[in-house]
Structure 1
Amino acid sequence: MPIRQLPETVIDRIAAGEVVERPASVVKELVENALDAGATRIEIATAGGGKTLLRITDDGCGIAPEELPLAVRRHCTSKLSDDLFDIRTLGFRGEALPSIASVARLTLRSRPAGAEAAHEIAVWNGAVEAPRPAALSRGTVVEVRDLFQAVPARLKFLKSERAEAGAITEIVRRIALAFPAVRFELTGPDRSPLVLEAGGIEARMAAILGADFAGNAIALDASREGVRLTGHVGLPTFNRGNALHQFAYVNGRPVRDKMLASALRAAYADVMARDRHPVAVLFIEIDPADVDVNVHPAKADVRFRDGGLVRGLLIGAIRQALSGAGIRPDTSGASGLMARFSAPAHAAVRQTPWEGPAASPYRPLEEEPHRFAGAGLMERAAEFQGFAPQARAPEPAPAPPPARDFPLGAARAQIDKAFIVAETGDSLVLVDQHAAHERLVYEALKGALHSRPLPSQMLLIPEVVDLPEDDVDRLAESAETFARFGLHLERFGPGAVAVRETPAILGEVDAGKLVRDLADDLAEAGSPDRLKGRVDHVAATMACHGSVRSGRSLRPEEMNALLRQMEATPGSGQCNHGRPTFIELKIADIERLFGRR
């Protein structure tokens, strides 16, 4: 078949496939154009899930009538200089409007500030009409009708109107979170109206993430080598079953970056169950020269020049924030408990975030013999706790401390040999004694394990693992880090590594599988987190076996010792499995239950 030049209409439709995947993609591009134009009010109207109609109206700077033909021509833009590494706007490629116009009926109407009249231009199937006068007070209106009607093969791959309308709502919410000073209004016969009034970031987060997010979030503000991280992250106990409540922005641009998602998982690794996801709003400010936003035409992917720096900043800042937050309860736990108290006996009450099939009532690990080479760790953990798990001879009980002196108050009673009831100056605190003590033992074990290099066990015959050369290079660069955890490996030719020693605390281990998993981690995230995770998992297992059990009576001084240690231990608000260790009920809420308020 001879080589031939493709028609312009076919070229445009091929290019449009990278930019316009669905109606939500159109909304994203047009809303970003409005924001780049300085809009303070943006209205989005849809019909038929965006397939029939999309109309975006803004009060931005507008487009001069003589520039309207250029606005719908490919690779024409007002936002980009000759430097692709100095991008300070959301759009810059000059592809959105022509790509949309190649697969839909597009009308562009605009009136710049100070202009005597508005003008509009229409495009259909590649044919561009001449600009003509139109009625508009100010700003720009882009109307898109019959999306993909000229490309039926694309149209049939779209989802239902309801699903497409939901995707539009999600993209508007995601963009609006980064621009709280802009008013957004989303309407149409295919949806419930959504109005996000202009205001501060706290009000915008409450509108998008829920009013309870602020009471269960920790503020972030950290910098490292010219990169700044701000935002809010939820408490570990304030979690969700999917990652849809994670919002990340780079220089104001909404992104979905695998490295950032991986760093967020790593930051919560030992305070949240694996099937749960944290809630987070993260803003990264970085020199435009140090991040490439031109990875894909959709501009949702970015590439950092120093990904390790950004990852380390995110993980370190979140862990430090969680550690410095002190002992804080998840407010949704108290509200769920209050709902149970106040609801009729026959009524179904909404489950709290840690309940349901994904987090069934906790059962300790089965008592099985384990061979741990870390002898003495359990004894050291017991010393840290201030009281041993085994029973002691009765002693005279000291006078209880004043309730107001401590965040978790003073122990007043034990319920069902499983829960401690404590009183503070203005609240009642219920503590799960096993979950709380398990967390304390776990933190003590981690401190003992990571304070010095872990012991290793030498293999009689080194195990040679064949790997691609890139994986071998990455493993060799991290060999010193692995050695601290008891894994000793070295290059064995151009495409293999030899494993000579493995962490003793892991017992018998498949060295080949371990090394391949570590190579995958390094390739994806650039960090050997999996080995640390394996060691921490062993520590968690040991903590579960070494902690005080439900069903054991505790003396008042033991209960108070547990409360004091919780207050002094970072992360003690949740157990190793991500569930809360205590719930706080305010006295005022209890009074309301009895009609006293």
Structure 2
Amino acid sequence: MARAIRLLPQTLINQIAAGEVVERPASVVKELVENAIDAGARKIDVTLRDGGRSLILVEDNGGGMSAEDLLLAVERHATSKIPDEDLFNIRTLGFRGEALPSIGSVSRLTLISRQEREETAWKLLVEGGVKHEPEPTPGTRGTRVEVRDLFYATPARLKFLKTATTENSHVLEILQRLAMVHPEIAFSLKDDKRDLLLLPSVEGEENLCQRITDIIGREFSENVIPVEAERERVKLAGYAGIPTFSRGNAQHQYLFVNQRPVKDKILSAALRVAYQDFLARDRYPQVALFLTLPPEEVDMNVHPAKTEVRFRDVQLIRTFMISALKHALSQAGHRTSTTVAQSALSMLKPSIPLPSHSFPFMKPAFHSSSSPRYVSISSRSSYTPMMAINDSLESIPRQEIPDTAFSRTSTSQEETFSSFPLGKAQAQVHDTYIIAEAENGIVIVDQHAAHERLVYENLKKEAMGAGVKSQGLLIPEIITLPENDVVLLLDHQKEFLSFGLELEAFSSTAVLVRATPALLGNPDIRSLILDLLDEIRESGENINLKGRLEEICSSMACHGSIRAGRKLTLEEMNALLRQMEGTPYSGQCNHGRPTYVELKKTDIERLFGRR
């Protein structure tokens, strides 16, 4: 027999609403701290007991509430945060029905509040959704909210809570994100045993940078680039990590919309696109970005916990954010993360003790010229960056160096260290790594990774311009392939030509390659064709390859770069270093790995106990 429809009691309605808003203690802290911020607080203190199960205490020195305000504050859909009854003109961290009645329905809630001009504070108790009358009580200006015995009225939800340590960590993360966007407010968090967070208020122009450093650490501030852009009343500010300063998850991506911390799919996707040219797919950049736009252009109330937003013009936000980040990253030049050197140093450990007898002199296992010259590309206006490297790699005669090769060569006035941030090449190790002496230490360069980035950037520049220049093959190469692969390649014949690759049908199971991109030198043509086939399959046969410019150029660059195992002269090494210094993003390869490690002289001295 069908049951009659009936209205639910208000207590049950509040408990259902609490299921949306109050997921765990961190959810309660978020709502209460946001209220404190909206009330104009300049100091907010949070105390937890038993991970928030037994007690959540939030105290602030904000504007406070009267007895009448207290009664309304625990009623559903009562708020002071919607001006002119316009849901799309909200400029505070509320509103989504307000959380206090939901919190009061599943806990023992006590509110104590005093306004500045009032002689006394007022106290209000709500237990399991049942309100008591407010009564006068001693208290200072501001509001004190105690949430005791969370979920006592709905005990089934207690089993979903984790250990006190885990719940504390969730509260800490919430508080850090709120504190990051409000450096003018002092925050603290403590549990039964210790202080978990102490953030004094920060004033001045650099307060945001200082607050971010206080929360994330100096390592973050040392490896980020300032971001500042504006378009059509939309502003983006903050800091973006250089590509080599990345993590294995997105936990250290701090995103804010109109001063609200959010986890938004549109913004996260824009981040991935902006960095896809520099990072492997399983790496995530570290950022702290603040997006500001008119309230009517974004709906902040699409999620009960207000962690997701909906933009009116999604395409504008996406393209603006991508272009702003790419422009900022281009300013990094050849920088690589300081953590790369720290990681390298941490792996350097004393070897097995060596015998006390002397060793015979060992001849250096690399080739070079005894009197290096430094290639200057600025003197030839039509000389492209890659021409210098290609010239040096193919035309400079190789000479064996004498046993004294490790001796310092003279440095002329125009060849001072200050002119060369990556230093001057001194040796090649294992035919793979370039060792350069810089003004304050040494630089170790992965020659394949570095040259791959240089080739890639120039390929991309040419592809976006008039097209990649080709070099004809003296003897065209025939590549035998399955019939369906031949068809697939010929379908994109014109697009490949714009990348400098000229091919045509030879038979139903073979293609004839007549020309390859000039920047690649003499690549392994078959391997190049197979890699490009993989790119076509991944993108789908009907997708224009121009839309996958970075991927195509990346595949080509890998085939045109100096391989590990290639012996280089000092001229070749220095030409590579100079090109790195003048090429954006050269601090990381196409897969996000560092192209060089810089070890400061002081770090080396510490390794040998000199400091």
User: By the TM > 0.5 criterion, same fold?
Assistant: yes
Q: Provide the aligned length of Structure 1 versus Structure 2.
A: 515
Tell me, yes or no, if the aligned pair for 1:573 and 1:581 is still in contact at 8 Å: yes
Tell me the residue number matched to 1:99: 102
Pick which of 290-299 and 401-410 moved more.
Answer: 401-410
Q: What secondary structure is seen at the aligned counterpart in 2 of 1:430?
A: strand
Letter in 1 for 2:576: L
Tell me, yes or no, if the aligned pair for 1:180 and 1:198 is still in contact at 8 Å: yes
1:69 to 71, 82, 92: 71
CA distances 1:332-383 after superposition (whole Å, capped 9, x unpaired): 1222334445x5559xxxxxxxxxxxxxxxxxxxxxxxxxxxxxxxxx9964
Tell me, yes or no, if the aligned pair for 1:386 and 1:561 is still in contact at 8 Å: no
Between structure 1 and structure 2, the one with the greater Rg is: 2
In structure 2, relative to structure 1, the CA distance for the partners of 1:245 and 1:511 (3 Å cut) is closer
Residue 440 of structure 1 and its aligned partner are, at CA, apart by 1.1
Tell me the residue number matched to 1:393: 397
Q: Which runs of 5+ in 2 are unaligned?
A: 353-383, 402-408, 471-485, 500-528
1:514 to 526, 540, 544: 540
Residue 403 of structure 1 and its aligned partner are, at CA, apart by 2.6
Tell me the residue number matched to 2:432: 418
Pick which of 301-310 and 444-453 moved more.
Answer: 444-453
Residue 146 of structure 1 and its aligned partner are, at CA, apart by 1.2
Pick which of 396-405 and 162-171 moved more.
Answer: 396-405
Q: Which runs of 5+ in 1 are unaligned?
A: 347-379, 463-480, 486-502, 519-527
Tell me the residue number matched to 1:281: 288
The correspondence of residues 552-567 of structure 1 with structure 2, limited to 5 A, is: 552-567=566-581
Tell me, yes or no, if the aligned pair for 2:225 and 2:242 is still in contact at 8 Å: yes
CA distances 1:459-502 after superposition (whole Å, capped 9, x unpaired): 7999xxxxxxxxxxxxxxxxxx9xx99xxxxxxxxxxxxxxxxx
Residue 388 of structure 1 and its aligned partner are, at CA, apart by 6.7
Letter in 2 for 1:386: N
Q: What secondary structure is seen at the aligned counterpart in 2 of 1:144?
A: strand
Residue 161 of structure 1 and its aligned partner are, at CA, apart by 2.4
CA distance in 1, matches of 2:534, 2:96: 55
Tell me the residue number matched to 1:360: none
Tell me the residue number matched to 1:478: none
CA distances 1:559-589 after superposition (whole Å, capped 9, x unpaired): 1110111112111000111111112222344
Tell me, yes or no, if the aligned pair for 1:385 and 1:440 is still in contact at 8 Å: no
Residue 312 of structure 1 and its aligned partner are, at CA, apart by 1.4
Tell me the residue number matched to 1:272: 279
Q: What percentage of aligned pairs have identical amino acids?
A: 50
Q: What secondary structure is seen at the aligned counterpart in 1 of 2:112?
A: strand
CA distance in 1, matches of 2:535, 2:398: 45
1:297 aligns with 2:325: no
In structure 2, relative to structure 1, the CA distance for the partners of 1:84 and 1:515 (3 Å cut) is farther
Residue 219 of structure 1 and its aligned partner are, at CA, apart by 0.5
Q: What secondary structure is seen at the aligned counterpart in 2 of 1:411?
A: strand
1:186 aligns with 2:189: yes
Tell me, yes or no, if the aligned pair for 2:535 and 2:551 is still in contact at 8 Å: no
CA distances 1:234-290 after superposition (whole Å, capped 9, x unpaired): 111111111010011111111111000000111110111111110000001111111
Letter in 2 for 1:408: L
Tell me the residue number matched to 1:498: none
Pick which of 140-149 and 442-451 moved more.
Answer: 442-451
1:427 to 441, 449, 461: 441
Tell me the residue number matched to 2:378: none
1:581 aligns with 2:595: yes
Residue 135 of structure 1 and its aligned partner are, at CA, apart by 2.1
Tell me, yes or no, if the aligned pair for 2:111 and 2:146 is still in contact at 8 Å: yes
1:10 to 2, 9, 12: 12
CA distances 1:107-148 after superposition (whole Å, capped 9, x unpaired): 000011121011110001221100112221221000001111
Tell me, yes or no, if the aligned pair for 1:411 and 1:560 is still in contact at 8 Å: yes
Tell me the residue number matched to 1:324: 331
Pick which of 532-541 and 281-290 moved more.
Answer: 532-541
CA distance in 1, matches of 2:253, 2:201: 22
1:59 to 47, 58, 61: 61
1:48 to 24, 47, 50: 50
Tell me the residue number matched to 1:148: 151
Q: What secondary structure is seen at the aligned counterpart in 2 of 1:218?
A: strand
Residue 594 of structure 1 and its aligned partner are, at CA, apart by 5.2
Pick which of 56-65 and 506-515 moved more.
Answer: 506-515
Residue 169 of structure 1 and its aligned partner are, at CA, apart by 1.0
Q: What secondary structure is seen at the aligned counterpart in 2 of 1:386?
A: helix
Cα RMSD (Å) of the superposition?
3.2
CA distance in 2, matches of 1:90, 1:40: 15
CA distances 1:389-413 after superposition (whole Å, capped 9, x unpaired): 5686337999874332222122122
TM-score, structure 2 normalization:
0.78
Tell me, yes or no, if the aligned pair for 1:162 and 1:190 is still in contact at 8 Å: no
Q: What secondary structure is seen at the aligned counterpart in 1 of 2:439?
A: coil
Tell me the residue number matched to 2:517: none
